[in-house]
Amino acid sequence: MRNRVRAAPADRFEVVLLDLDGTVYVWPDAVPGSPEAVATLRARGCRIGFLTNDPRQDRAGYAQRLEKIGIPAAPEEVVTTGVALAVLLRREGFAGARALVLGTPAFRAEVLAAGLADGDGADPRSIDLVVVGGSADLGSRELTTATRALRAGARLFGSNRDPVFPTPSGPAPAAGPYLASVEVAGGVVATTAGKPELPIFEAARQQLGSGPGAMVATGWTPTWPAASRPAWPACWSSRAAPPSRTWPSRPSSPTWSAPTSQPSPGSPDAGAQGTSVVASGSSS
Ligand SMILES: [Mg+2]
């Protein structure tokens, strides 16, 4: 099976947003053909944005990963959930608030860049908000502090709710299970910034400086609820993709190929399987 990138002709889409896990790579292996597909899109004049829900590294870290599999990338081309959370929290007026940020040092730095005060080590009752990256960095000590802060009234934000991400040896727990544990213990529901929610796309638009051209995004994950699709402006997904295409058990599948046709932008076929299209035209 081939996962075709048919919906990104350079004359139609100015910015192409690429998912990483399962789309560009199944770390540490490139999805076969993805370096060539990225090079082809760039040669046709598309700007590329790499959007990942993986909360463990920062933009520079993912740019280095991409370099290792043969895809030259600048940190400015990578959009993480840490950056998306910072955009969201700044917009929501949390600058100056005391935040307990749970995650890797890279994630913590990206979130705290919103102008938050680092609440690590503070009395849980003095915490204004808890921000969960969602990784093995969340242990019993962190969960206990978060629980007490949330039960004392702190707001809860999270990276994303993905249940698993692909690895060469099979699915591994993603950010969702870690966030769910904090929600259950804290008795609150988190606001998330990663895909499929809007903040990461807003961050992409800010970061990539999209002009009047359209954006197209790949990597719709079948487990994302259909009800969340309206969160993407003027966005739709084509056919439901079998999970095996999005989360391949082996890095040899799926493979990429160069664009072969130009479906009309309103057509349900505008996105290949597993591909969603953001067709919002104007920046704001
Ligand atoms: Mg993915």
The per-residue pLDDT for range 198-235, each reduced to its tens digit, is 899 889 888 887 655 666 666 666 666 555 544 443 33
Residue 18 Cα to ligand 1 middle (Å): 9
Q: What is the pTM assigned to this prediction?
A: 0.78
**Per residue in 19-35, pLDDT tens?**
999 999 999 999 999 99
CA of 12 to the centre of ligand 1 (A): 24
Q: Catalytic one among 19, 54, 58, 162? A: 19
Residues at Cβ < 5 Å from ligand 1 ion? 19, 21-22, 219
The pLDDT value recorded for residue 248 is: 28
Domains of the chain: 13-80+198-278 (3.40.50), 82-192 (3.40.50.1000)
- Residue 243 vs residue 170, higher pLDDT: 170
Is 118 annotated as catalytic?
Answer: no
CA of 53 to the centre of ligand 1 (A): 8
> What is the reported pLDDT for 205?
86
* Ligand 1 centroid, distance to 246 Cα (angstroms): 7
Instruction: Give the percent of the chain with pLDDT over 90.
Output: 61
117 C-alpha vs ligand 1 centroid, how far in Å?
A: 32
CA 41 to ligand 1 centroid distance, Å: 19
Mind spelling out the 3-state secondary structure of the chain?
CECCCCCCCCCCEEEEEEECECCCEECCEECCCHHHHHHHHHHCCCEEEEECCCCCCCHHHHHHHHHHCCCCCCHHHEECHHHHHHHHHHHCCCCCCEEEEECCHHHHHHHHCCCCEECCCCCHHHCCEEEECCCCCCCHHHHHHHHHHHHCCCEEEECCCCCEECCCCCCEECHHHHHHHHHHHHCCCCEECCCCCCHHHHHHHHHHCCCCCEEEEECCCCCCCHHHHHHCCCEEECCCCCHHHHCCCCCCCCECCCCCCCCCCCCHHHCCCCEEEECCCCCC
Q: Select which of 21, 54, 58, 162 is catalytic.
A: 21
21 is catalytic: yes
pLDDT at 8: 42
- At 17 the pLDDT is 87
pLDDT digits (tens, 9 = 90+) for 138-182: 999 999 999 999 999 999 999 999 999 999 999 999 999 999 999
Question: How far apart are the CA of 241 and the centre of ligand 1, in A?
Answer: 12
pLDDT of residue 190: 97
What is the 44 CA–ligand 1 centroid distance (Å)? Answer: 24
Tens of pLDDT, residues 85-114: 999 999 999 999 999 999 999 999 999 999
